Structure 1
Amino acid sequence: MNLTGDQKKTVAAAFLGWMLDAFDFFLLTFLLKDIAKEFGVEISAVAYALFLTLAMRFVGAFIFGRLGDRWGRKPALMLDILLFSIFGALAAFSPNLIVFLILRALFGIAMGGEWGLGSSLAMESIPPQARGMVSGILQCGYPTGFLLAAVANGLLFGRTFGDYTVGWRAMFLLSVLPAFVVLFIRSGVPESPAFEASKAHAKPPLWATISDHKGLVIYMVVLMMCFNLFSHGTQDLYPTFLQKQHNFDPATVSWIVIVANLGAIAGGLTFGHFSEKIGRVNAITIAAIIALPAIYLWAFSATPVLLAIGAFIMQVAVQGAWGVIPAHLNELAPGAARATVPAFVYQAGNFLASYNGPLQAQIAEANGGNYAFALALVAGVVAVAIIVCIRFSPERRGEILKAH
């Protein structure tokens, strides 16, 4: 993969933004039980923070996408990263559950803008033949962030330093870390060449662009609803499942999640690369098929080792399919709204899937705390839905991306 120095910096910035965005989001998944205990509520009540974060990403995708199409990908991305760092850290000072939920909703707005801005900046800045591998690299930012959250949880949470024991509030203070990426973007990352070239062209109104492609946009929203159920349905409550149903300690939970995310990184890179050879649609189909036989080992095993093996295979499949998405959505999107449409359909699908966290917790609680059943049910149904849905997708691998 031959990239220039500027292109490598652009890919690094997009990767780091998404990685640290995911790090902030997944910190919460390790802390649900402890937050619920402090506020005196059920885990399902705190899980509404997952719902609100995911639901409000839809709003952020639209706001920051429009800013990216007007101001440029780079300045909008810098503002977005700064805001999700601030809102993430402020959650540490929540006096009650209501304030905590409001802050996580605001965090969701900022989180919703990062993916579309980062992926459009990267995809418009690299040669077409590098798009598959870079797509896998970008999407691997998500499981890498999850992995870092697992490492931070295992190393810090519950540890005592002098007279102070690290609790959930201190963990949220780690959310300030992404703000430092803004300095790197400001100093070393150029604007998208496609956006710079588009300045000489008048752009149609967003509503006109979407109206001209409404059938494709609706299809993309449905596809991304399935994809978001696939990822969040196999990730968000998995640490809670390991804590509540198996009574594993934080260190054991962390290393199982780390193994799962190593599988996710391997899957994203592998399927992103092969999508350049076999096509985006075929790569996604194969990845989703792999998830089906992995369900039993991933959800119903009894030992940490077997659960870790199952989680590794499951996340190879889940993030293998996701590793193709940055390239695929940017190739499908109309150029005049590329910072808006991929993020819009991604987060609109995310909005439709956003109730997954509370729903899975409620299914588990209604079945005597059986989180394995709730996880397996969603994973199986959604894997089949993706296999069917992706076969209707256009294939536009290798097309030149323009911003007008």
Structure 2
Amino acid sequence: MPTTVDREVSATRATKTPLNRSQITGFWGAWAGWTLDGMDSFIYALVLAPALTELLPRSGYEATPANVGLAGSILFALFLVGWGLSFIWGPLADRFGRTKVLAATIFTFAIFTGLAATAHTVWELGIYRFLAGVGIGGEWALAGTYVAEAWPEDRRKMGAGYLQTGYYAGFFLAAALNYTIGATFGWRAMFLVGLFPVVVSIMVLLRVKETDKWERAETVHPHVRHESSLKTIFNAQYRKRTIVAAVLLTVAIIGLWAGAVYEPSAVVQLATKAGMDKHDAARMASIATGLLSIGTIIGCLALPPMAEKIGRRKTLAVYFVGMAASIALAFGWAFYLPNGLVPFIALLVVLGFFGGNFALFSLWLPEQFETRVRATAFAFCTSIGRFFGAIVNFGIGAMVLHMKTLGVPIAITAVAFLIGLAVIPLAPETKGQELPN
């Protein structure tokens, strides 16, 4: 029979600290930015084929499937390099605050996404995507840092899961827009829609209060204000966890982006093989992307309770195993079946669920670094993997060109998760620990 103390403890655990107006507004600002970030990122994957089919001849190249695939890989690699350079936003946020710099990242990726609609050559499109990538890459780090610092301790873990759903809600939104606007008005209209985040950036800048943790850190440690936060995350205290976190994020980026970015092209090929015309195949790719997004959103929401129950490291291991298996089966098996469209899409839902592993980093990274370098560490660890992702993407493009197939090169990326499983034990377990000041 439960005692009075047991009942009081249970009641305490069941009652969550209420969020104030600033915390709610700030979360929705960060979530909306992250949603539109995801939408912007995936627009490129959805309009890749029609955009390059139009722009390659204007750039002096024949629009063959092989050239479209190679040019797509090169442009996506440039986008990832821009995303990798986004680590510059972290030190700025540790120096000037989270909200102003968060607004600047949103403004940057929105403007250059809109300008992509004006591209007349492949190279112009590549430049705009590179600059949009610089803005896009910083949004996650600053949004994740903001929510971790602004939300109460008993809510911030689930807040990380809620925040991460935004990116994949953006995938769903991009798919819906492609199904309607893209299918009707073409790829340029899709990029123009990317201008909408400018409104969000203004709202973030004007309405969201700076986090108390950052303001306290500025008061308590004024002498470190001008020290290099990038140098600090590689001192004796943080060096190992910075490197390990960067490696784990590299693994996640290689795997998820290899699967997700090429998913629409794979679905179009399978749908065409099943007898659909070009228009219906494109819409089937949008439907498949929507299902992938729903699976990922569920994975993001399932992750924080699991991480609280079995710990951060074991949770990431479960998700990495799931990602390796689903990528290998989807692209290495279902893609080559005579009637592979349905099993491929079914496996995409599974792939999407385990793609929710990114929610763990939104929860885990802030727990590993103190406030004065948190944004820098988050931005660096989430950005460095994009450079390696760019290299892998070049390799995938070359393999697709050489092997004349999309499936096997993508399936091979599942090996990255095996490397990740070997690295996970080196990361610190922070289950049950409060966010450090």
Comparing 47-56 and 337-346, the one that deviates more: 47-56
Judging changes above 3 Å, is the alpha-carbon distance between structure 1 residues 81 and 296 closer, same or farther for their aligned structure 2 residues? Answer: closer
Contact (CA 8 Å) 1:22, 1:141: kept in 2 or not?
yes
Q: Which residue of 1 aligns with 2:312?
A: 280
Match among 164, 182, 200 for residue 157 of structure 1: 182
Q: With structure 2 as the length reference, what TM-score do the two structures score?
A: 0.85
Query: Structure 1 residues 214 and 384, CA, compared in 2 at 3 Å: closer, same or farther?
Result: same
**Do the aligned partners of 2:328 and 2:412 also contact (CA within 8 Å) in 1?**
no
Instruction: Report the RMSD for the aligned CA atoms in angstroms.
Output: 1.8
Paired position in structure 2 for 1:205: 228
Q: How does 1:311-330 map to 2 (within 5 A)?
A: 311-319=348-356, 321-330=357-366
2:71 counterpart residue number: 45
* Partner SS for 1:341: helix
Aligned partner (choices 405, 411, 414) of residue 376 of structure 1: 411
Contact 2:117 2:189 in 1 (8 A): yes
Contact 1:3-1:126 at 8 Å conserved across structures: no
The answer on 1:4 being equivalent to 2:19 is: yes
Partner of 2:342: 305
Alpha-carbon distance, 1:337 to partner: 0.9
Q: Which one-letter code corresponds to 1:316 in the other structure?
A: F
Displacement of 1:244 in angstroms is 3.4
> Which AA in structure 2 matches 1:52?
L
Offset of residue 239 of structure 1: 0.7
Match of residue 428 from structure 2: 394
Distance in 1 (alpha carbons) for counterparts of 2:97 and 2:420: 33
Give, in whole Å, the separation in 1 of the partners of 2:243 and 2:376. 14
Instruction: Tell me the CA shift for residue 149 of structure 1.
Output: 0.8
Residue 191 of structure 1 corresponds to which residue in structure 2? 210
- Pair 1:123-2:142 in alignment: no
2:57 is equivalent to residue 35 of structure 1: no
Q: Which residue of 2 aligns with 1:17?
A: 33
Question: Structure 1 counterpart of 2:189, which letter?
Answer: A
- Alignment partner of 1:101 is 2:126: yes
Counterpart check, 1:170 vs 2:189:
yes
Which residue in 2 is equivalent to 1:242?
267
Could you say if the C-alpha distance between residues 222 and 172 of structure 1 is closer, same or farther in structure 2, counting changes exceeding 3 Å? same
Residue 323 of structure 2 corresponds to which residue in structure 1? 291
Structure 1 distance, partners of 2:428, 2:422, is 14
Inter-partner Cα distance in structure 1 for 2:427 and 2:265: 35
Deviation at 1:133, TM superposition (A): 1.3
8 Å CA contact 2:233, 2:242 repeated in 1: no
- Secondary structure of 2:35's counterpart equals helix
Give unpaired runs (5+ residues) of structure 1: 160-165
**Structure 1 residue aligned with 2:392:** 356
How many pairs were matched up? 393
Q: 1:205: how far off?
A: 2.9
8 Å Cα contact 1:89-1:175 kept in structure 2: yes
Larger Cα-atom Rg: 2
SS of 2:429's equivalent?
coil
- Answer whether contact 1:209 1:336 (CA < 8 A) is retained: no
Give the residue type in structure 1 aligned to 2:47.
L
- Report the counterpart of residue 370 of structure 2 in structure 1: 334
Query: What's the CA shift string for 1:202-249, capped at 9, x where partnerless?
Result: 224322443232222222221111111121111111111222354261
Letter in 2 for 1:181: V
Range with bigger deviation, 262-271 or 287-296: 287-296
Given that residues 86 and 134 in structure 2 are in contact (C-alpha distance below 8 angstroms), is that contact kept between their aligned partners in structure 1?
yes
Identity of aligned residues (%): 25
Give distance in 1, aligned partners of 2:210 and 2:301. 25
| Shift in Å, 1:303 | 3.9
Further displaced range: 330-339 or 2-11: 2-11
Q: Indicate conservation of the 8 Å contact 2:106/2:135, yes or no.
A: yes
One-letter amino acid of the structure 1 residue matched with residue 38 of structure 2? A
1:215 equivalent in alignment to 2:240: yes
Preserved contact between residue 256 and residue 304 of structure 1 (Cα < 8 Å): no
Render the CA deviation track for 1:179-218: whole Å, top value 9, x for unaligned.
Answer: 1112332343211111111121222432244323222222
Q: Distance in 2 between matches of 1:13 and 1:398?
A: 28
Alignment partner, residue 163 of structure 1: none
Question: Which ranges of structure 2 fall in alignment gaps of 5 or more residues?
Answer: 1-15, 62-66
Deviation at 1:2, TM superposition (A): 4.1
- d(CA) in 2 for partners of 1:326, 1:266: 16
Q: In structure 2, what is the Cα distance between the partners aligned to 1:48 and 1:269?
A: 34
Compute the displacement of 1:132 (Å). 2.4
Query: How far did residue 323 of structure 1 move?
Result: 1.6
Output the CA distance in 2 between the equivalents of 1:262 and 1:189: 29
Counterpart in 2 of 1:75? 100
Q: Residues of 2 paired with 1:331 and 1:354: CA distance? A: 28
Structure 1 runs of 4+ with >6 Å offset: none
Return the offset for 1:297: 4.7
Contact 2:232 2:373 in 1 (8 A): no
Report the Cα offset of residue 386 of structure 1.
Answer: 2.1
1:53-92, CA deviations, whole angstroms, 9 ceiling, x for partnerless residues? 1112222222x11221111101111111111110110011
Which sits farther off after the overlay, 265-274 or 389-398? Answer: 389-398
What is the identity, as a one-letter code, of the residue corresponding to 1:12? W
Matched letter for residue 69 of structure 1: D
Contact 1:57 1:347 in 2 (8 A): yes
C-alpha separation between the residues in 2 aligned to 1:362 and 1:243?
Answer: 20
Secondary structure at the residue paired with 2:210?
coil
Code of the residue aligned with 1:329 in structure 2: it is L
Counterpart pick for 2:382 among 325, 346, 363: 346
